[in-house]
Amino acid sequence: MKSVRALGAFSGGLDGMLASRVLIDQGIHVEAVTFDSPFFDVQAGETAATALGIKWHTVDFTSEIMALLFDPPSGFGKNMNPCIDCHAAMFRKLKEIAAREGFDFIFSGEVVGQRPMSQNRGSLNRVKNISRTGDILLRPLSARILDPTPIEEAGLVDRERLLDLNGRGRTKQLEMAREYGFSHIPSPGGGCLLTDPGYSNRLRVLKEVGLLSGDNARMIRFGRMFLLNGAVGLVGRSAAENDKMLHADTGIQLAIRDIPGPLGIILGKKTEKNITLLNAIMVSYTKAQEQVTVISNQGETFTAERIDSAERDKYSIML
Ligand code: SF4
């Protein structure tokens, strides 16, 4: 008999692992997809899939999530997280893959009531409706307190062996993880940068100056951030950060010559005013009291002197 095949949205969190395991226990072939974007590190998904022994895939989700950051139809959560539309976009994508690759249904580790905005009963229904995945989407962890799905009605899964989890607590999930003998139990939190208040603040600034792009969103994970004139400046905080910024290949790079100092990057307008300002900010993080030389990755050389720290802080965007 042909085995039933299910494809899950998989961040690498405990709920996704348990949802997968519940299906595997029914003899269903399970594979997992982690959506890659500037805001989400897929490593956790790989670790969790390896721990479960299931086949793991990544799908580039950058263009979908970036589009949602401009004007999400269902709005933002507490920070820059458009969770409802983001879930819907992921499920749409999973549905496409499932049709192409011969999966019988898609699933997620969502639990009714777990997140006040994006995982209450109304939001789960909205996600299902706007993604048009009601025919193919299963939420194994809360299935028994939700309406039966066509997947259950068709007998592809046994509803009686699905779960009835409800609410924010993790006690039941941790108990199940112990019973299953999981050697890897992910910590709660999700790991999406869009739910982080400091990072969201940076992203808002990027959006306000018209610089919201996938590459720039990745860049602002690093360095101290400054709002220049219609541009954004980044200044490395450590040798490791300077190194990551150096290899990012985005924006105009500025480096202090002859003495130790941070790397600077300008995203956006490369005007003389902005270069002078960022150079001065960079010098303020060195011991230099005299003028120093700064070179750019475009072969230019500048003379720079430090800005007073109180003046510098007026341009600072805190993380
Ligand atoms: S937490 Fe981030 S990745 Fe998850 S649904 Fe919300 S916006 Fe999307």
How high is the pLDDT of residue 140? 98
Q: Which residue has the higher pLDDT, 82 or 41?
A: 82
Ligand 1 lined by 254 (C-beta under 6 Å): no
How high is the pLDDT of residue 187? 79
How high is the pLDDT of residue 118? 73
Q: How far apart are CA 159 and CA 144, in angstroms?
A: 7
Assess whether pLDDT exceeds 80 at residue 77: yes
Q: Which residue has the higher pLDDT, 155 or 2?
A: 155
Alpha carbon of residue 297 to chain centroid? 30
Assess whether pLDDT exceeds 80 at residue 2: no
Assess whether pLDDT exceeds 90 at residue 168: no
Which atom of ligand 1 has the smallest separation from the CA of 190?
1
pTM score, whole prediction? 0.91
How high is the pLDDT of residue 190? 67
The protein residue whose alpha carbon is closest to atom 5 in ligand 1 is: 83
Ligand 1 lined by 192 (C-beta under 6 Å): yes
How high is the pLDDT of residue 270? 87
Confidence of residue 250 (pLDDT cuts 50, 70, 90): confident
**Which one of 34, 194, 195, 200 would you pick to mutate in the ligand 1 pocket, going by the greatest count of ligand atoms within 8 A of its CB?**
194
> For 111, how many CA atoms within 13 A lie in the half-sphere containing its CB?
21
- Regarding beta strands 292-296 and 263-268, do their DSSP bridges make them parallel or antiparallel, or are they unpaired? unpaired
Is the Cβ–Cβ distance between 262 and 292 less than 8 Å? no
Give residue-wise pLDDT tens across range 87-113.
Answer: 999 999 999 999 999 999 999 999 999
Confidence of residue 43 (pLDDT cuts 50, 70, 90): very high
The pLDDT > 70 percentage for the chain reads 99
Ligand 1 lined by 203 (C-beta under 6 Å): no
Give residue-wise pLDDT tens across range 211-221.
Answer: 999 999 999 99
Note the helical H segments in 160-302. Answer: 171-180, 197-208, 214-219, 239-246, 272-284
Ligand 1 lined by 40 (C-beta under 6 Å): yes
Ligand 1 lined by 83 (C-beta under 6 Å): yes
Please give the C-alpha separations between residue 170 and each of 23, 87, 204, 283, in angstroms, as whole numbers.
20, 21, 32, 49
Give residue-wise pLDDT tens across range 112-134.
Answer: 998 877 788 999 999 999 999 99
- Regarding beta strands 231-235 and 316-317, do their DSSP bridges make them parallel or antiparallel, or are they unpaired? unpaired
Q: E strands of 80-147, at which residues?
A: 105-107, 137-138
Ligand 1 lined by 126 (C-beta under 6 Å): no
Which atom of ligand 1 has the smallest separation from the CA of 192?
2
Which atom of ligand 1 has the smallest separation from the CA of 82?
7
Ligand 1 lined by 194 (C-beta under 6 Å): yes
Q: How far apart are CA 234 and CA 46, in angstroms?
A: 31
Going from N- to C-terminal start, the domains of the chain cover 5-193, 196-317
Q: What is the mean pLDDT of the chain?
A: 94
Q: Any idea which architecture 5-193 has in CATH?
A: 3-Layer(aba) Sandwich (3.40)
**Which one of 192, 195, 200 would you pick to mutate in the ligand 1 pocket, going by the greatest count of ligand atoms within 8 A of its CB?**
192
Q: What is the SS3 assignment for 203?
A: helix
How high is the pLDDT of residue 271? 94
Ligand 1 lined by 190 (C-beta under 6 Å): yes
Assess whether pLDDT exceeds 80 at residue 251: yes
How high is the pLDDT of residue 36? 97
How high is the pLDDT of residue 216? 95
Beta bridge pairs of residue 301:
295
How high is the pLDDT of residue 319? 61
Give residue-wise pLDDT tens across range 189-244.
Answer: 768 999 999 999 999 999 999 999 999 999 999 999 999 999 999 999 999 999 99
Give residue-wise pLDDT tens across range 265-316.
Answer: 999 988 999 999 999 999 999 999 999 999 999 999 999 999 999 999 999 9
